[in-house]
Amino acid sequence: MTRTMLVALMAALVACASQETTQIREEQDQAIRDFIAVRGLQELAKIRSSGSEGWDRLSDHFIIYNTRRGSFLFEFARRCYELDDASRVTPDVRADPNAIRARFETLRGCSIHKIYALTKAEGAELRELGEAPGSRNQ
């Protein structure tokens, strides 16, 4: 009897923790969408790229993609688990090795839904948007 109650209690705790995590992710995504709307970020059909780029992960749906020419906000069509999990990486789909197009191409297997142009200040603000005070000091 106590074993059954212990299992039920553990299941309830796991469900609560997963619900909180999901709510936090949704709030982060909504904060980024609000930022896009308030700032009126320009949506781009494609960007020029080269081989030495990287990105900063903001959430499961958004990254800041860094190029030599500047930074861009990518929104994915779905949650992109492949950004953190190196075991599930899928090759990029690209029609042109020097360009990345929204809605037609992928990054690590995740379909790029939208691309927005960012200034340096907007990129810095987005990077700090979901951080708790002092979280970089750990």
Residue 99 CA to residue 107 CA, distance in Å, equals 12
**pLDDT tens-digit readout, 67-112:** 888 899 999 988 888 877 777 667 777 878 888 889 888 888 888 9
Could you give the angle at which helices 120-129 and 2-39 cross, rounded to 10 degrees? 160
Judged on CB neighbours under 10 Å (0-12, 13-18, 19+), 45 is exposed
**pLDDT tens-digit readout, 50-60:** 765 788 889 88
Q: Does residue 16 register a pLDDT over 60?
A: no
Residue 7 CA to residue 11 CA, distance in Å, equals 6
Query: Is residue 50 within 8 Å of residue 98, measured between CB atoms?
Result: yes
Q: Does residue 121 register a pLDDT over 50?
A: yes
pTM for the complete prediction? 0.74
Lowest mean pLDDT among 7-16, 44-53, 84-93, 115-124: 7-16
